Each structure stands twice: as structure tokens, then as C-alpha cells.
Amino acid sequence: MTEAWRPDDDDDQQRRGASGPVRVRVPAKVNLHLGVGPLRRDGYHELNTVYHAISIYDELTARRGDTLTLTMEGEGAGELALDDTNLAIRAAHALAGYAGVPPHARLHLRKQIPLAGGLAGGSADAAAALVACDALWGTGLSRDELAGIAADLGSDVPFLIHGGTALGTGRGEAVSPVLARPTSWHWVVAIADGGLSTPAAYAELDRLRDAGAAGPPLGSTDGLFAALRQRDPRVLAAALGNDLQDAALAMRPSLAGTLKAGEAAGALAGIVSGSGPTCVFLATNADDAERIAAELATAGVCRQARTAHGPVAGARIG
Ligand code: ATP
């Protein structure tokens, strides 16, 4: 006799957790608008930003284990510490503490997002670890609860739980999704040799502003949102902006050549991503993006040029 399905079965399964491996894919982010306001008393800057998740992914697999361990391959392997300072491990501890479960898992990271590249790779790994361990341990938290834990791990982590395109305020951790009609934007991502430190980029911006050598701050995100609604890449290109770009260029003057090369290759616009040194270029369509990426690779102005599209979903199982 076949046993009847009971409505509680799925809930039981969620509570017990997964017996097999849980694999989570998590995207990189770029900032379509990164407005940096004044330095707050807590040492963070007030931000007014529009996050956008693009199709360059890290992948984190979580398996059952007797302790918490992390291994990795890909970008940054051999450079990045795999101990309690790693954001994936910190995220697993934070979730276990919140849910009152032992932090036992074997985590493995396959990284494609470059280290300290301005694409929020570490934050992405933290978001992936929260989603993977939640499924592995059967803690069954909602995405909003996970985003609440994420906010303590880093300003970009809540966005990488949600993905898509979203407004970020506060220090970037307060995320409101943008409900735009679906449009896919085509990007070229120029990955540089070596990284840039995010705190150093903010300190450089403060220095430039104190010296009166920074450009005027970007201000409101209204223009960017209006551009997104028009669904025309030329209009979006004109609305992109990053207050940290002057700082990144001051720290890495060669990025000016990368931006110039992308625009010479036919990109509609190029900006430094976050605190850099990655530069991202908006293309008219997917074919144009391929062509621009090939030209950038030939020009030798970056370590690697890749195409990507966005927006894409945040950290997801599968
Ligand atoms: P953001 O755009 O959020 O400022 P970023 O892309 O410039 O970040 P990340 O790659 O996120 O830089 O990493 C910044 C630092 O975080 C690294 O230099 C490293 O010391 C630390 N870190 C901790 N865990 C990780 C991780 N899993 N992946 C990458 N960096 C990590």
C-alpha cells in the first residue's frame, strides 16, 4: 500500500534539513549609481545607491560535517584566508547563533568574482553561505530574516540575498527592490590585476573632498530610476554615476586608460564598479558586448574582459 502524502511532509523536510549537498549560486553586483554622503559617527558613509546584480557568479556548496570547514578554488585561491575571518564562515556562525543550531558544515567555494574587485565578492559569499546553511540545517528562515542577519555581516550582503536591481540606503544595508518592467542590460566587465581596498577608497574620497579636489556629489537617484524606466541603454548610459570613481582613479591612474579603451571600442558608457578596480561598460546589445570585450582583451588594458547581463536573481539554490 502506498503511504498517503500529508501536507506536513514538506515542512518536516525543511525542519530536518538536507541530507545531500546544497549548492547555491550567487551573483556579483555593480552600482549603477553610487552616491556617497557624509561620514557618519559610526565610521560609515551615508549611501544612496542603486545596486544591480549581474551574471558573474560564485558557487558555494554546503555538506553535512562534524565541524565548520571551508575549502575553495578559483579566483583568490591560495590568497584568501579560509579561517574565521572569511565572510562565508562568519555568515555560517551568524546563522547558527541566530537559529540556535550547531555550526557544522563542510563548505566549498568556487569563486569567479575577483577579490577586492568592487563587485562585492566577499559579500556574495556571505549571502550564499546564509542561504546554503539555512537549507542544510533546515532552519527555514524567510529571505527577510536572512537579510536581517546579512546586514550585520556587511553593507552589500542583504542586497545579494535579494538580487535584481534595488535601492540601497543607510550604509547600503537598507534595500528596497526596484519594480521595473523586465529589461536585460548588457555589460562588459573589465577585471584588473590585483584589488583595491574599499576602506582605502572611501578614505581617499574624504581626502579629495577635504582638499576640494573631488567632483560634485551625485545627489538623488531620481534620474537613474527614470532612465531605468525608459528601457533605452543610451538613456541609462547617461545616468550612470559613481562618487568613488575619482578616488579609485587617484589610487589606480591606469583605470583612466581602461575606461577610455572601452568607450573607444563602442561602449555607451564606462564606470568604475563600486570601489574598483573593476570597470564596467554598458553595451547596446549582447553582440556589441562580445565585440567590446574582445577589443578590451586585445588592448591589454585589463587582466580579463567578460560579458554579463543583469539584473539576475540573488543567492539561490540550484
Ligand atoms: P565591496 O564591493 O563589497 O567593497 P570588493 O568586491 O571590493 O567588496 P571583496 O572581494 O568583497 O571586495 O573582499 C574585500 C575583502 O574581504 C577581501 O580583501 C578579503 O580580505 C575579505 N574577505 C573575506 N571573506 C571573503 C570572501 N569569501 N571572498 C572575498 N573576500 C573576502
**CA atoms of 113 and 273, how far apart (whole Å):** 13
Q: Which residues are 122's β-sheet partners?
A: none
- Quick one: which atom of ligand 1 is closest to the CA of 85? 23
Shortest-distance Cα residue to atom 27 of ligand 1? 122
- Cell digits for 35? 552616491
Residues labelled as active-site residues:
29, 156
Q: What is the mean pLDDT of residues 68-96?
A: 97
pLDDT tens per residue across span 193-242? 999 999 999 999 999 999 999 989 998 999 999 999 999 999 999 999 99
**Residue 286 CA to ligand 1 centre (angstroms):** 29
Instruction: Map grid coordinates 533546515 to a residue.
Output: 138
**Residue 276 CA to ligand 1 centre (angstroms):** 12
- Quick one: which atom of ligand 1 is closest to the CA of 276? 7
Q: Which residues are 269's β-sheet partners?
A: 282
This prediction has a pTM of: 0.93
What does the pLDDT read at residue 18?
86
Q: In what order do the strands lie in the sheet with 269-272?
A: 269-272, 279-283, 185-191, 304-310
**Residue 185 CA to ligand 1 centre (angstroms):** 25
- The phi-psi region of residue 275 (left if phi > 0; otherwise alpha if psi is between -120 and 50; otherwise beta) is alpha
What does the pLDDT read at residue 121?
97
- Quick one: which atom of ligand 1 is closest to the CA of 156? 3
What domains, with CATH codes, occur in the chain? 9-178 (3.30.230.10), 185-310 (3.30.70.890)
What does the radius of gyration of the chain's CA atoms come to, in whole angstroms?
20
pLDDT band at residue 11, thresholds of 50, 70 and 90? very low
**Residue 302 CA to ligand 1 centre (angstroms):** 20
**CA atoms of 172 and 190, how far apart (whole Å):** 24
- Quick one: which atom of ligand 1 is closest to the CA of 154? 3
Rounded to an integer, what is the distance from CA 16 to the centroid of its chain? 30
Shortest-distance Cα residue to atom 18 of ligand 1? 116
pLDDT tens per residue across span 20-77? 999 999 999 999 999 999 889 998 999 999 999 999 999 999 999 999 999 999 999 9
Instruction: Map grid coordinates 536591481 to a residue.
Output: 165
**CA atoms of 93 and 101, how far apart (whole Å):** 10
Choice between 152 and 16, residue whose per-residue pLDDT is larger: 152
Shortest-distance Cα residue to atom 31 of ligand 1? 122
Residue percentage of the chain with pLDDT more than 70: 95
What does the pLDDT read at residue 15?
54
- Cell digits for 65? 560535517
- Quick one: which atom of ligand 1 is closest to the CA of 196? 7
How high does pLDDT run on average in the chain?
93
- Least confident interval from 15-24, 44-53, 138-147, 186-195: 15-24
Residue 307 predicted with pLDDT over 60: yes
What does the pLDDT read at residue 1?
38
What does the pLDDT read at residue 5?
36
Which residues line ligand 1 at a C-beta cut-off of 6 Å? 80, 86-88, 115-123, 125, 156, 198, 274-275
- Cell digits for 114? 575577483
pLDDT band at residue 276, thresholds of 50, 70 and 90? very high
Of 39, 129, 46, the residue nearest 84 (C-alpha): 129
CA angle 125, 109, 32 (to 5 degrees): 35
Residue of 80, 242, 272 to mutate, ligand 1, most atoms within 8 A of C-beta: 80
Residue 302 predicted with pLDDT over 60: yes
Residue 110 predicted with pLDDT over 70: yes
Residue of 198, 202, 272, 278 to mutate, ligand 1, most atoms within 8 A of C-beta: 198
Residue 251 predicted with pLDDT over 50: yes
Shortest-distance Cα residue to atom 29 of ligand 1? 122
What does the pLDDT read at residue 8?
43
Choice between 1 and 271, residue whose per-residue pLDDT is larger: 271
Of 222, 231, 223, the residue nearest 184 (C-alpha): 231
- Cell digits for 124? 556574495
